[in-house]
């Protein structure tokens, strides 16, 4: 059993990752990821949902390698759009639009793309190393958890994840609870009673999470995009690209930003809920604070591209830590990954590393491979990605519509699922209009059944006394941490208001 | 972190309706109302299932408890946000109806008429009804997409999809 920690296990994983089929699908994943990262109208959530049915016949590890590649590949692609169009292809690339596009306007688009690709690569490697070194420790702690600790952990993970996300924290918790409730639709595992099915036989197995994801993120977002798309003229790609290899001066100015960005991104991405955007934001502000010439940020500094791009890629890797070690998805994409694991018969949690080491370490090792592929793809194929950018949205969205419709049908060969997805499309549009972020709903939906099952078991073991959660030290600690986060998130803005009125 | 996007200078957020000046109800009041309705629905229907007790929770316990929590959260959101500054902007009924109807038609036809009928109708529906293009444009996008979807899904990937009526 030398799987249990560190580099020997990683070497074993590397053997899995370099199997031809895994290499091929890793490549497919990162290419598709870059593609959807480049395209502003379509994101990794829809893409992963679309490809999930295709992975049914694959080995679980192969499926996860491809789906993960889509996610971190999208982080690379998002920067291309940010630099060339001043539009974030992915939300995490928002800060890259500042200095990246300024560089492009000065005719240095190629250098900006090169810095971003190289920075992303270094960060991807550092982020993945963080996954390698942190996972065994977390797993060894989490393996000893009983139902009470599991419940406390899920509460902490979910609450922390949704409360620090954008928007109102209370509304995010409400979305999370809505997700938990939607997760109860179907046959109750413990008693066999069907809940909220209203006599519809198709609902007995519950609602498929892909239907929810595609409805909300696919159909719902298309409706919202069409609302404004007709008014927006086709964007023109900024200037000429030039050489993608940065100059010696670019390197000198940005290597520290890359390293700092990687570490900040790794740390931020690991915390539940603080996704890739928060990492990029933290890295950019840090770089600006440390700089001798902060006023020049936004005018096309290479370090202003390097910092946020490194951070969002590092965060994209460490985002996997809570899912792979604790079974906690820290966002919409990770919720889908959790669902993908369940479809392939793997319950996300600490036991994955010990019972399925080839899957655990194979997936992590594939991230090194995938990042190397992405570096080459992004340095050499920039001109192809630029042509992708020229596809107008009115061509793109019918393609996405059809792929979603066929993809949903092929999940279970069920036309009912398409109807359901159409309903979730309307719901998703309503969420957008009401400024409600849908990621917490998806997370609650995926984790709901596990939370309920663990809650029931914990209460049974505690003979019906809810104090069981406070009598066990670990679960009490986790719940205390949850309380601290709630107080901080609700209390801090109030404190800030108080300070600003006081000064 | 809560107001991340607001603190970033000089970035246009792609929310086309933010400045449209439409004056509807506050979004937080409406959001709270939606949560109240959802929570109430799950509680009301959930009471049909056995609640059990804390020691052995029945199928109704978890959804009724979560539904009650949602009801309370929704009430809080609605009360706190009843005078919120952000108002509901205009609902884009045309794309909403066009996309939803096209998907519903696709769902009804896919098992009866097959992909060669359902796919072009979906494309035509979403292109024409949303006003994104002409008949010619719908044909130019729809025809190759239909062919591609037949080639990719049933033929290459072996997805059991009905092709012809």
User: Mind listing the pLDDT tens digit for each residue in A37-62?
Assistant: 888 778 889 999 988 888 888 999 99
pTM, two decimal places: 0.86
Partners of A173 on chain B (C-beta within 8 Å) are 73
Mean pLDDT of A82-107: 84
DSSP one-letter string for A311-379: HHHHHHHHTHHIIIII----SHHHHHHHHHHHHTT---STHHHHH-HHHHHHHHHHHHHHHHHHHHHHH
| Predicted confidence band of residue B6 (pLDDT cuts 50, 70, 90) | very low
The answer to whether residue B158 scores a pLDDT higher than 90 is no
Please check whether residue B24 touches A, CB under 8 A.
Answer: no
Report which of A349, A292, A298, A399 is spatially closest to residue A138, judged by C-alpha positions: A349
Least confident span in A48-57, A303-312, A381-390, A490-499: A490-499
- As beta bridge partners, residue B52 has B57
Residues A13, A284: Cα–Cα separation, whole Å: 34
The confidence score (pLDDT) of residue A1 equals 41
Bridge-based pairing state of the strands A194-195 and A186-187: antiparallel
Q: What is the pLDDT of residue B12?
A: 36
Range with the poorest average pLDDT among A8-22, A167-181, A209-223, A488-502:
A488-502
- What was the pLDDT predicted at A234? 54
Residue B43: per-residue pLDDT: 96
In this predicted model, what pLDDT tens digit does every residue of A257-309 receive, in sequence order?
999 999 999 988 887 666 778 888 889 988 888 888 888 888 888 999 999 99
* ipTM, 2 dp: 0.85
- Residue A372 CA to residue A369 CA, distance in Å, equals 5
Cβ atoms of A204 and A187 closer than 8 Å: yes
Site from A227, A315, A421, A462 to mutate, B interface, most B CB atoms within 10 angstroms: A227
Position with higher pLDDT, A232 vs A7:
A7
Q: Is B53 on the interface with A (CB under 8 A)?
A: yes
A219–B30 CB contact, under 8 Å: no
Share of chain A above pLDDT 70, in %: 93
Mean pLDDT of A440-468: 89
Please report which confidence band the pLDDT of residue A346 belongs to, taking 50, 70 and 90 as the band edges: very high
Q: Is residue B15's pLDDT more than 60?
A: no
What is the per-residue pLDDT across A457-474, written as a single tens digit (0 to 9) for each? 999 888 888 888 998 888
- Name chain A contacts of B111, Cβ cutoff 8 Å: 415
User: B31 and A196 in contact by Cβ < 8 A?
Assistant: no
CB A462 within 8 A of CB A198: no
From the CA of A236, how many Å to the nearest CA of chain B?
16
B5 touches chain A (CB under 8 A): yes
pLDDT band per the 50, 70, 90 thresholds, residue B54: confident
pLDDT at A501: 66
Q: Give residue A2's pLDDT.
A: 41
What is the DSSP-derived secondary structure letter of residue A232?
Answer: S
Listed ranges A405-414, A425-434, A478-487, B156-165; the one with the highest mean pLDDT: A425-434
CA distance A351 to chain B (A): 26
Give contacts of B119 with chain A, Cβ < 8 Å.
402, 406
Quote the DSSP letter at residue A42: -
Give CA A499 to chain center in angstroms: 34
| Mean pLDDT, rounded, of chain A | 87
Per-residue confidence (pLDDT) for residue B21, from 0 to 100: 45
Bigger pLDDT: A212 vs A277: A212
- The whole-angstrom separation of Cα A380 and Cα A111 is 13
A434: nearest CB among B34, B111, B160: B34
- B108 and A405 within 8 Å at the Cβ level: the answer is no
- Contact state of B16 with A489 under an 8 Å Cβ cutoff: no
Say what the pLDDT of residue B29 is: 92
B127 touching chain A per CB within 8 A: yes
> CB–CB of A222 and B108 under 8 A?
no
Percent of chain B with pLDDT over 90: 44
pLDDT at residue A118 greater than cutoff 90: yes
Higher-confidence residue: A109 or B23?
A109
pLDDT value, residue A472: 87
Alpha-helical (H) ranges within A381-392 are: 382-389
Which has the minimum average pLDDT: A28-37, A101-110, A243-252, A360-369? A243-252
d(CA A323, CA B162): 38
Is the per-residue pLDDT at B55 higher than 90? Answer: no
pLDDT of A236: 63
Residue in A177, A229, A278 nearest the CB of B4: A278
Q: Nearest CA to CA, how far is B57 from chain A (Å)?
A: 6
Range name among A247-256, A345-354, B61-70 with the lowest pLDDT average: A247-256
- Mean pLDDT computed over B73-84: 90
Distance CA A100, CA A151 (A): 44
Q: Of the candidates B95, B119, B116, which has an alpha carbon nearest to the alpha carbon of residue B106?
A: B119
**Optimal mutation site among B12, B20, B95, B104, interface A, most CBs of chain A within 10 A:** B95
Alpha helices in A206-331 (DSSP H): 209-213, 221-229, 248-270, 276-290, 302-318, 320-321
B108 touches chain A (CB under 8 A): yes
Q: Does B19 touch chain A (CB under 8 A)?
A: no
DSSP codes, B27-63: HHHHHHHHHHHHHHHHHHHHTTS--B-SSSB-TTHHH
Across the range A331-342, mean pLDDT stands at: 91
The CA-based angle A474-A475-A481, given to 5 degrees, is 90
CB < 8 Å to A166, chain B = 1-5
């Amino acid at each position: 059993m030398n799987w249990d920690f560190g580099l020997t296990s990683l070497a074993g994983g590397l053997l899995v990752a370099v199997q031809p089929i895994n290499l091929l699908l890793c490549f497919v994943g990162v290419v598709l990821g870059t593609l959807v990262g480049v395209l502003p109208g379509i994101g990794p959530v829809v893409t992963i949902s679309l490809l999930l049915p295709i992975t049914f016949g694959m080995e679980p590890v192969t499926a996860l390698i491809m789906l993960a590649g889509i996610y971190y590949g999208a982080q690379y692609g998002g920067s291309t759009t940010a630099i060339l169009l001043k539009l974030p292809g992915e939300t995490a690339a928002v800060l890259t639009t500042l200095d990246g596009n300024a560089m492009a306007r000065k005719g240095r688009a190629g250098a900006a793309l090169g810095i971003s690709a190289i920075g992303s690569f270094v960060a991807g490697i550092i982020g993945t190393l963080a996954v390698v070194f942190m996972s065994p420790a977390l797993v060894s702690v989490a393996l000893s958890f009983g139902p009470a600790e599991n419940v406390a952990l899920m509460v902490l993970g979910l609450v922390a994840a949704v409360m620090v996300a954008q928007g109102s924290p209370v509304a995010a918790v409400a979305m999370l609870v809505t997700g938990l409730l939607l997760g109860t639709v179907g046959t109750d595992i413990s008693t066999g009673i069907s809940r909220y099915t209203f006599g519809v036989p198709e609902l007995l197995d519950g609602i498929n999470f892909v239907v929810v994801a595609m409805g909300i993120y696919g159909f719902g977002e298309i409706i919202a995009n069409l609302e404004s798309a007709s008014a927006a003229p086709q964007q023109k790609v900024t200037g000429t690209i030039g050489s993608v290899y940065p100059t010696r001066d670019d390197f000198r100015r940005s290597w520290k930003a890359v390293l700092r960005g990687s570490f900040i991104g790794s740390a931020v991405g690991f915390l539940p809920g603080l996704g890739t955007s928060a990492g990029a934001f933290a890295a950019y502000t840090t770089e600006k604070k440390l700089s001798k010439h902060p006023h020049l940020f936004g005018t096309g500094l290479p370090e202003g591209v390097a910092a946020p791009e490194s951070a969002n890629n590092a965060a994209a890797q460490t985002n996997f830590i809570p899912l792979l070690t604790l079974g906690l998805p820290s966002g919409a994409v990770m919720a889908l990954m959790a669902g993908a694991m369940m479809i392939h018969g793997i319950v996300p949690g600490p036991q994955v590393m010990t019972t399925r080491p080839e899957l655990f370490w194979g997936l992590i090792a594939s991230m090194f491979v995938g990042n190397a592929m992405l570096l080459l793809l992004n340095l050499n194929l920039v001109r192809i990605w630029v042509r992708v950018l020229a596809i107008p949205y009115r061509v793109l969205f019918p393609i996405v519509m059809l792929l979603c419709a066929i993809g949903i049908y092929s999940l279970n060969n069920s036309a009912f699922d398409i109807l359901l997805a159409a309903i979730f499309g309307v719901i998703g549009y309503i969420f957008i209009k009401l400024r409600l972020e849908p990621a917490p709903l998806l997370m609650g939906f995926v984790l709901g059944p596990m939370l309920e099952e663990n809650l029931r078991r914990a209460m049974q073991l505690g003979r019906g006394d809810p104090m069981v959660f406070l009598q066990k030290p670990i679960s009490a600690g986790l719940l205390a941490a949850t309380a601290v986060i709630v107080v901080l998130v609700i209390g801090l803005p109030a404190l800030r208001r108080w300070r600003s009125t006081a000064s | 972190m809560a107001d991340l996007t607001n603190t970033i200078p000089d970035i246009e957020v792609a929310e086309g309706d933010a400045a449209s000046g439409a004056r509807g109800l506050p979004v937080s009041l409406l959001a709270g109302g939606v949560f109240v309705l959802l929570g109430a629905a799950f509680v009301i229907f959930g009471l049909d299932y056995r609640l059990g007790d804390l020691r052995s929770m029945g199928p109704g316990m978890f959804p009724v408890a979560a539904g009650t929590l949602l009801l309370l959260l929704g009430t809080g959101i609605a009360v706190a946000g009843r005078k919120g500054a952000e108002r509901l902007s205009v609902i884009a009924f045309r794309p909403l109806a066009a996309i939803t109807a096209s998907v519903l038609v696709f769902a009804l036809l896919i098992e009866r008429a097959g992909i060669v009928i359902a796919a072009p109708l979906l494309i035509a529906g979403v292109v024409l009804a949303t006003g994104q293009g002409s008949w010619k444009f719908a044909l130019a996008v729809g025809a190759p997409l239909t062919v591609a979807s037949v080639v990719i899904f049933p033929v290459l990937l072996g997805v059991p999809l009905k092709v012809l009526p």
